[in-house]
């Protein structure tokens, strides 16, 4: 099952070369971080890994939804920010989880970062020739 999903993901990514390169860059970065003891210790001690995880998670979620479903970017960002707020509020009322405003901010920054990068690529990335 996992091999099939991996194969489908790789086939999709191969259709879009920039998606494949981004996926390989992220995979390579995680491999270096988690295989190297020194890098892992520095990352976990100097950063709030929870906030970084929220940032990366919502950046990736925005990227995937934008790529696969082609939702309008502004509407997608608003819905994901609302979703992020609801998950943190829901976690606040659970007995075994903590809803934290810091996590909501990290989620929102991840969403907005993708939107800004996508906007810059769309506006400035493709120069039209006359």
Domains contained in the chain, number: 2
Measured CA to CA, the distance from residue 40 to residue 37 in angstroms comes to: 5
Q: Quick check: 104 and 84 in contact, CB under 8 A?
A: yes
Tens of pLDDT, residue by residue over 8-39, are 566 665 556 666 666 666 677 666 666 666 65
Asked whether residue 127 falls in the same domain as residue 85, the answer is yes
0.75 exceeded by pTM = no
Look up the domain containing 67 and give its range: 47-130
Asked whether residue 38 falls in the same domain as residue 67, the answer is no
Asked whether residue 11 falls in the same domain as residue 60, the answer is no
Q: Quick check: 55 and 73 in contact, CB under 8 A?
A: no
Asked whether residue 54 falls in the same domain as residue 33, the answer is no
Tens of pLDDT, residue by residue over 36-63, are 666 556 555 555 667 788 888 999 999 9
Asked whether residue 129 falls in the same domain as residue 68, the answer is yes
Provide the percentage of residues in the chain whose pLDDT is more than 70.
Answer: 60
């Amino acid at each position: 099952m996992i091999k099939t999903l991996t194969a489908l993901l790789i086939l999709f990514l191969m259709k879009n070369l920039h998606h494949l390169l981004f996926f390989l860059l992220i995979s390579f970065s995680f491999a270096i971080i988690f295989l190297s003891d020194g890098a892992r210790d520095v990352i976990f001690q100097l950063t709030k890994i929870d906030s970084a995880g929220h940032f990366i998670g919502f950046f990736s979620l925005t990227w995937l939804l934008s790529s696969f479903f082609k939702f309008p970017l502004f509407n997608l960002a608003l819905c994901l920010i609302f979703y992020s707020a609801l998950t943190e509020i829901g976690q606040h009322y659970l007995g075994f989880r903590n809803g934290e405003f810091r996590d909501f901010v990290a989620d929102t920054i991840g969403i907005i970062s993708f939107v800004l990068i996508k906007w810059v690529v769309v506006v400035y990335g493709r120069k039209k020739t006359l």
